[in-house]
Structure 1
Amino acid sequence: MTTDASGAVHVSGVEEPTTSTSRNPDADRARRALGAVWRIESARIIATLTRFVGDVGQAEDLAQEAMLEALRQWPSEGVPNNPGAWLTTVAKRRAIDGWRRRERLDERYAAMARDLEQQDGAASGQFWDPDTIDDDILRLIFVSCHPVLSREAQIALTLRIVGGLTTEEIARAFLVPVATVQQRIVRAKKTLAAANVPFAVPDPEQYAERLGSVLSVLYLIFNEGYLPAAGEEWTRPDVSAEALRLARMVAGLMPREPEAQSLVALMEFQASRFRARVAHDGTPVPLDQQDRSRWDRAQIERGRAALARADRLGRGRASYGLQAAIAECHAVAASTDETDWARIVVLYEALGRLAPSPVVELNRAVAVAMSTGPASALRIVDDLERSGRLAGYPGLPAVRAELLSRLGRSNEARGEFEAAARLTGNERERAALLAKAAALAPPVVE
């Protein structure tokens, strides 16, 4: 469900009532209210319904039906005091009606119906704090990131049923057709049902595998907003903000997991730079040229607090902890020149031993260049290029171009900038790389 500029609520996957309400202010207010409620409470509503009916796909369908009912009732009857509880109650009634129609009444239904009747009277008046998160949402996140699903399906399902984004919003964020996202979500629901995946947090011995998948998906989503792989925008802060919100949720529900706290710290540090990373005309601003007074100092402090919470657990820093420590070095430095590059090199070396990756090695090369000079860094990059492990990755020729430029090898650097521009799918990045290549072009002799 999404709200457009006019305030109209669009419910994904179902049709709105056909009566014209565009000139009805009560209907407009109801739509705006429904959009706000869904954005804030959708995860809780779907999690509650999933626990109630035992199937995440059916839970979302019931929530959609409840929203349609809200569009019919709220314009004339007004928005209830507790709209989230109202939607949940209507959805539960729809589920019970379905059980009645299928003649599947049993003791379980009777018990749930009695419980519903007891809670029904208090539901409309009881305050539902959207900042209060219970284990149902944690279960929903783990279900969305279950290993039985592909990574693409995990991302789509997490954003849809936990993040509350529509298929249209997800498709825009990842630059894929809406139909592709819809198919991924439908297949994911069918896969979960076929695998009989329980609506439950995994056993503690399964945490390592399952939590790692959850955090990985959230960070992948964050990075897609931090530097979109394709498209015309240099950043998508809304996508990163959604990933950070979900990561905070996981960290709040699992306070004894240092990597959950560390991922929040890493995201806070990186997100703090968003305002300074883009010029007024939308062009990218490199780290060494950013106005650091525009960095969000409150967000940096939240990042430092999250990293400190992870450290207090006393289990050492793992992958996200080391990355957060690197980001902290940038966040607390007054300028590029005053950054503790020697410490960053050491942190990247530790990260490379813990989680070997050619991208980590490339980032280490950048830190080495700032710490000891471009010549030693170029040797690292040349080794990476010969290995072929980053073939097709635009960051490799881009870094190599910067190093060659600093060494005065302008012609080679220009060719590397142009190669990087050909590889990237991000229009803003391509323009920036081509501008650097043009700046290195020899003057025209007339």
Structure 2
Amino acid sequence: MFTGAGGLALGLHGAGFRHRLAVEFYTRACESLRNNGAKDCPDLKAAADAIPTADASWPLVEGPVQDVDFTPFLNKVTLLAGGVPCQPWSIAGKKQDIEEKIGGERNLWPEMFRVAHETRPKVIIAENVVGLTRPSFKGYYDYILDGLSLPHEIRGNDEDWRIHHARLRKRLNDDGVPDDERYVVRAATLNAADFGVPQIRKRLFIVAYRADLGIDGWVPPSPSHSQASLVNDLIEGGYWKRHQIEPRIEVTADLTPTLPDERKAWRTVRDALCDPVDLVEPGVDTPIGLVEPKLNRKPSSGPAHHVGWPGARPYRGHQPSDLDWPSKTIKAGVHGVAGGELTVNDRLGRYRYLTVREVARLMTFPDDWTFDGTRGPQMRQLGNAVPVDLARAIGDSVRIQLRPDEARDDGAEVAGDRGIV
């Protein structure tokens, strides 16, 4: 659900799950999915009956999730996954009322409950902004957790969420609820930088296991990367040697050595721009050293979407991401984003906007993944996405708990004859 440009879906595919259905409302995101191999799904029953494979196209439904009947997928789904639209909860959003009436267009958590009820998956993964856990939203956050615990306790058409929540709480205290009718729900806030994503991006993940699986709650993945390792790498010089550049005093002078850490170093913006292949600096019209290099909108050599965007201007409260640190959180915007999340002082010393391809690397999309639309819609898709490598870490943690004795190679069919919605 809420597939967007495919970050969560691609990461879960990398973890070995195979997709039965992708549902997305935004036309540009749907075109991006088609550009990368998704196919329109005219027959939900046929999609439900098909056996998904590693090389199969993702079946795609474009339109409101409210209009999709998921009952053909009953008992045919291992994992229900989705990054529920976050506008009501985001600090950057308008903080509208949670619910004035059932079925509000901006709040789609009730749809998550409905799809879980109609499909009865073994596992549910939901992603959202950390703002959902703020004290002002505590009542509704608790309702979300309880709604995922008992998705078969259906909310009435005219029932206020608070009344529904009271029924859920009463039912949760009833020891007579069968294990196949309830879920064990756990939540954790994770920083994408701790999992190899070159971006400081904290997000909330809620994972629910059907109780009859006998799994006593989700165990979040252990971080593979750390800030401490990056700090030590910068101070000791290994980072600068690896990039074949002189140390930047303004980075190293304010860093304090820490205890050794066996985890890998956080990946930086510079790491992302150089790996897997070095992205040339965009928009260089003249040789470096003759005159100041100017930024233009001509496509640079290499992967698609690496096009310069002139006009960035630094000002108070709009600082760029540092080349030698993970980027700031990428948000769904282009100009005027608070905090300068889409700007950088590049390797030529220019203050400029990041290109779409550079932002895609900060979200750990592969270089051959393309995005539909002009720069604005492309950035919107990226800002709303789940970083691919973080999604894969979440998927791996779920797969390990589902099948702890199964060794996995990248080509393994770990989801068997079931898949993901």
TM-score, length-normalised on structure 1? 0.26
* Larger RCO (CA within 8 A; separation ≥ 6): 2
TM-score, length-normalised on structure 2? 0.27
Bigger radius of gyration: 1
Instruction: Please identify which structure carries the higher helix content.
Output: 1
Instruction: Please identify which structure carries the higher strand content.
Output: 2
